[in-house]
Structure 1
Amino acid sequence: MAATHDGAPAAEAEAPTEASPLLAAARKHLDRSSAGHGHGSTLAHGGQAMATKMHLFIPAVGVGIYLVAVDQLLTVAAYAKIGNELNSLNNMSWVATSFFLTLTSSQPLYGKLSDVFGRKECLLFSYAVFAVGCLGCGLARDIVQLCVSRAVAGIGGGGMNAVVSIILSDLVPLRERGVWQGYLNVIYAAGSSTGAPVGGLFADSIGWRWSFLAQVPLCCVAWLAVYCFLDMPHRADSDWRANMRKVDFLGASTLVAAVLALLVGLDFGSNFGWCHLATVVCLAAAPVLFALLVFVEARVATHPFAPAHVIFDRGLIAGYLTNFFGVGSYFAVLFFLPLSFQAGEGFNAATSGALLVPGMVAGVSASVTGGWLIKRTGKFYAVTILSYGVLAFSILPLALSVWLEATAAEVMTFVLVAIGSGSGLTTTLTGLLANAATEDTAVVVACSYLFRSLGSSIAISLSSAALQQVLRAQLASRLPSSEDARLIEERVRQNIDCIKSLPPPVASAVRASYRVATIGALAPALLMAVVALLATFWVRKKTLAS
């Protein structure tokens, strides 16, 4: 207990700490080790009490989870519309990568921050920052302002995911965790299912800006729900200066620099050529900065956000790699498939968003099913391999469907992609927690989200580079060689609405080019899915206690 470590008298050891019950309805003594790992704790034989606590916890955080899901798919559906209005379609991948960049660097910090300052305080901070970011997105006047605002929103979004997952690990036995995570994923599914079509509908009617502005009052509701219903103890230690020294800002800054160098290098390479000076410098600097990050975390940081014993543990690293490559693969598909619907097949934004709904619902249903299977069997290894096998073997048929313009087949294969990813997320996180030491639970969860968001940002950037490279080559080969053709090429890369004003033969050539370019964007996704599948075979088996 924190009081004991701080040298407080024994009588004060009963004071509330971060290991105390997280909700008012909870009992006075919660064995966090047992809650996280299912070792016959009071929770294990007090199922009714646990259910009562969870019935308070889930509504309190549900609004925030819904917001995170809505936000990610609002931008996916409105991707082309935003790029058209800002005349920056070829740079639109930065709207996603700027969000994931700050998400990546902030998520692991929340693991330590929640231990230092408290779970509730970190969650409230996350909601407030996310609201400010959404407001900035709605008021942005150019692509730079939009990306900066998305970066601010990413700082908030990092906590909205990670802190909730940490609290869930505090509350429930590990064997039950997959089921309760599945319930939270149902809320996420509701946001995912409505986010894409609503985002597209807004973009086609009152404007894409309202996709962001409408989230601000919902953020306020989420903040109030957590403030009022999530009853958690305050930290006894109020020395914020000492607390801040425990947070690894140097490591986070090095991570941002490393990822940014890689993403800028990929962006410059796809738009200006791979021999461009900025491309060479950034891509050369990226591995150096990643090596520096490892050194900082292993030798310099006194409280590393990604401790070496947590990252390189034999029982954990396979799960992290599966998260990195599997989630990255899924987000690359999710981000570029709607662009194919709009630029390659001529659908509007609302229809493109609606076509994603079956996959969103199927993915979360698979997540709940995966959690249920773990609860029934106490095993996660085989389900994890099966999940990522479905993901890997579904992307190639999806690419073929794009080539054939078979919209129904595209929707069906995306359903399979989502099933594999959705189930795999639940089973992989359960595997990580099963192999983690009790005292490392919060850090392991945060590192899991670190690898997810890092994989997402790098995968989207890789797929964007592939798409732009293939698109330029396809347009150059399909359009007649002339100055007018070069102008058309530049215009349609920045604004797909220009396709509507082109002569039918030229418009057909441009749409065909976008379809082939989408297949190029799916190639990195396929490669990452295969690597994720291979990594699952190294996940350490463990049977969970009843």
Structure 2
Amino acid sequence: MVQRSEPAGIEPTEDSPLLAKPRNANGHGEAYVSIAEISPEGSVNGNGVNGSLTKIRSEDEESRGSGEVEESAGTANVARIISVLLIATQTLYGKLSDIYGRKTMVITAYLIFVVGCAIVAMGQTMWQVILGRVISGAGSSGMAGLVSILITDLLPIRDVAQWRAYVNLVATFGRSIGGPLGGWLVDVIGWRWSFYGQVPPIILAIVLVIIYLPSPPADSEVSDAPNGSAASQKSKLQRIDFQGSILFALAVLALLLPIELGGVKFPWSHPFIISLFAVSAVLVFVFIAVEKRQAEPILPLEIFHRRDAVFSFAILGCQTAAQLGLMFSVPLYFQITQRASNTVSGAHLVPAVVGNALGGVISGVLIKRSGRYKALIITAVSLSSFSYLLLMLRWHGNTNFWESLYIFPSGFGTGIAQSAVFISLQAVISDPSHLAPAISFMYLSSTLSLTVGLPLSNSVMQTVLRRTLRARLLDLGMEVGEISKIIENTVSDVDFVDSVTAKVRDAIVGSYVDGLWWSHGVSFAFSATAFAMALIIRQKPLDGAR
């Protein structure tokens, strides 16, 4: 989408970008002069000055606006950090739906999401926008999980995979058009309508849920008080495991904060990062100790006594992390090797998206007909592993059209896994009261994998990129200071490759390819781990199961 900078003194409007965009990728309000040529000795000649990479001011200090860029970038980082706390809400929705009823919680999740979108759309400051995203995130975290829980309530287990595949198909279509549609709205009528536009469909969904969704009575074992009375509501409130919810949220936050900040704000070896990981581990142990004493824990620990349930969580988590690594690396690969535009490079993900949708539908049909899911899980992770292996073996900078389709098996395998692993989990959960929390935790494990997969793939890629590029530039005879500047520009702006000479360009492209090779390796490692667990998982008969 097109970003436009606002002239000094003019109030931002709905056409303004949410965050002020740095004038270069380093965020310092400066423009690097293009590197025009390299001397035989390997020195960089910038603006005719031998042996130095010079910089010029794009504007004077007064016109920059005191600290606008740095403040916006920092606020964006804070927004991401605050938002990760919402992920714990996914397990809470499962238990709340047992207490208050599925229909009530679905409507509640939709309403929270609508309120959040409206606050974002009307926000006049960045903190108002952050507040809106926090609220909408709290709503959206329950929407997908509750739909899957409802499907398990309403359908025989053999039909569940097929119907979840249809839901996944719709969700995949929505994710596919969401970005382009949002970009079009930003360009045509302003970014606020990307959020205003979500309100009417969700309100319509609320109306349809109220009209058509059956209302089975919520569990009311602990109270004989009339439903809706103050005593009844108090008894339901007392059943909520607030202590466990808070501990679990803090443990997740302590885990995700260092993942978000490590390698960006702090080195991975920094005491602050190490301390956060340690705090997360301690909080997990405290959470377990507390949950053992709870009558109705937010996350029943008995779920984790079942080996196949744990494997189901881990398999889907590994597949999700591997797939996200692919989604990160593929557009970047074509941007750097073929200098493709954002649109074209993003379009190279279409085979994986199509494969994901087809895999889910086909696996749902096969499970309904055969009642078997283990073979499908093994097939899914095998296809994905094979896809990542192909990328490692064949994507070395000159990728033709047919080779660009190597990502199809990974998407196809992930689509199969999403349906088959869900059935695997449902087949081993014998206690009906544990099913909703287990499904919610499965969504949480997938979300956590999303949070872990991207930083890990990016960190590995950048580490290899920096190391190999430094070696290549040293071979060209360049000086250490020049090399450092080129590396920093390379990792911060993919378009920097257009402003260097052929020799440096080849070094940058080759180093990116090396880094992305290792990124594919991370995806392969995740998928191979899932394959090992899929071999151990047991096939349960589905006939007569919940």
Q: 1:323 aligns with which of 292, 308, 316?
A: 316
Equivalent pair of 2:85/2:253 in contact (CA under 8 Å)? no
2:453 partner letter: A
Q: 1:178 aligns with which of 143, 161, 176?
A: 161
Deviates more, 1:270-279 or 1:304-313: 270-279
Deviates more, 1:431-440 or 1:280-289: 280-289
Deviates more, 1:349-358 or 1:143-152: 143-152
Per-residue deviation, residues 108-162 of structure 1 (Å, max 9, x unmatched): 1111111122222222222233345456667889999877765544322221111
Shift of 1:308: 1.0
Equivalent pair of 1:201/1:349 in contact (CA under 8 Å)? no
Shift of 1:84: 7.0
Residue in 2 aligned with 1:531? 529
Equivalent pair of 2:240/2:298 in contact (CA under 8 Å)? yes
Residue in 2 aligned with 1:262? 255
- TM-score (structure 2 length as normaliser): 0.73
Residue in 2 aligned with 1:160? 143
Residue 369 (1) aligns with residue 352 (2): no
Cα distance change on mapping 1:198 and 1:307 into 2, 3 Å: same
Residue 455 (1) aligns with residue 449 (2): yes
Shift of 1:474: 4.0
Residue 274 (1) aligns with residue 268 (2): yes
Shift of 1:370: 0.7
Residue in 1 aligned with 2:3? none
Q: Distance in 1 between matches of 2:512 and 2:118?
A: 32
Residue 287 (1) aligns with residue 281 (2): yes
Shift of 1:295: 2.7
Residue 116 (1) aligns with residue 99 (2): yes
Cα distance change on mapping 1:118 and 1:457 into 2, 3 Å: same
Residue in 2 aligned with 1:440? 434
Q: Distance in 2 between matches of 1:83 and 1:152?
A: 25
Per-residue deviation, residues 187-235 of structure 1 (Å, max 9, x unmatched): 1232244335546666888887765554344433433433444353676
Equivalent pair of 1:359/1:411 in contact (CA under 8 Å)? no
Q: 2:235 aligns with which of 242, 245, 267?
A: 242
Residue in 2 aligned with 1:360? 353
Q: 1:421 aligns with which of 414, 417, 433?
A: 414
SS at match of 1:376: helix
Q: 1:406 aligns with which of 373, 395, 399?
A: 399
Q: 2:518 aligns with which of 511, 517, 520?
A: 520
2:409 partner letter: L
Q: 1:486 aligns with which of 481, 484, 501?
A: 484
Shift of 1:305: 2.0
Shift of 1:94: 6.6
Per-residue deviation, residues 413-465 of structure 1 (Å, max 9, x unmatched): 22110111110110111111122123322222212212222222222232233
Cα distance change on mapping 1:261 and 1:440 into 2, 3 Å: closer
1:280 partner letter: I
Shift of 1:168: 0.6
1:184 partner letter: V
Q: Distance in 1 between matches of 2:179 and 2:250?
A: 31
Give RMSD over aligned pairs.
Answer: 3.7
Residue in 2 aligned with 1:385? 378
Equivalent pair of 1:392/1:530 in contact (CA under 8 Å)? yes
Per-residue deviation, residues 288-335 of structure 1 (Å, max 9, x unmatched): 333333333334x44222211112223422212212222222223223
Equivalent pair of 2:90/2:441 in contact (CA under 8 Å)? yes
Q: 1:220 aligns with which of 203, 226, 245?
A: 203
Deviates more, 1:178-187 or 1:476-485: 476-485
Deviates more, 1:356-365 or 1:330-339: 330-339
Q: Which runs of 5+ in 2 are unaligned?
A: 1-18, 28-72, 219-226
2:535 partner letter: F
Deviates more, 1:179-188 or 1:126-135: 126-135
Deviates more, 1:498-507 or 1:248-257: 498-507
Q: Distance in 2 between matches of 1:389 and 1:228?
A: 44
1:323 partner letter: L
Equivalent pair of 2:380/2:412 in contact (CA under 8 Å)? yes
1:177 partner letter: V
Deviates more, 1:184-193 or 1:497-506: 497-506
Deviates more, 1:523-532 or 1:508-517: 508-517
2:280 partner letter: A
Cα distance change on mapping 1:212 and 1:222 into 2, 3 Å: same
1:446 partner letter: S
Residue in 2 aligned with 1:251? 244
Shift of 1:286: 3.2
Residue in 2 aligned with 1:541? 539
Equivalent pair of 2:355/2:410 in contact (CA under 8 Å)? no
Q: Distance in 1 between matches of 2:291 and 2:155?
A: 30
Cα distance change on mapping 1:334 and 1:475 into 2, 3 Å: same
1:219 partner letter: I
Q: Distance in 1 between matches of 2:234 and 2:404?
A: 52
Residue in 2 aligned with 1:27? none
SS at match of 2:143: helix
Name which one, 1 or 2, has greater alpha-carbon Rg: 2
Q: Which runs of 5+ in 1 are unaligned?
A: 1-80
Residue in 1 aligned with 2:64? none
Q: Distance in 1 between matches of 2:404 and 2:511?
A: 21
Shift of 1:105: 0.9
Shift of 1:544: 1.7
SS at match of 2:343: helix
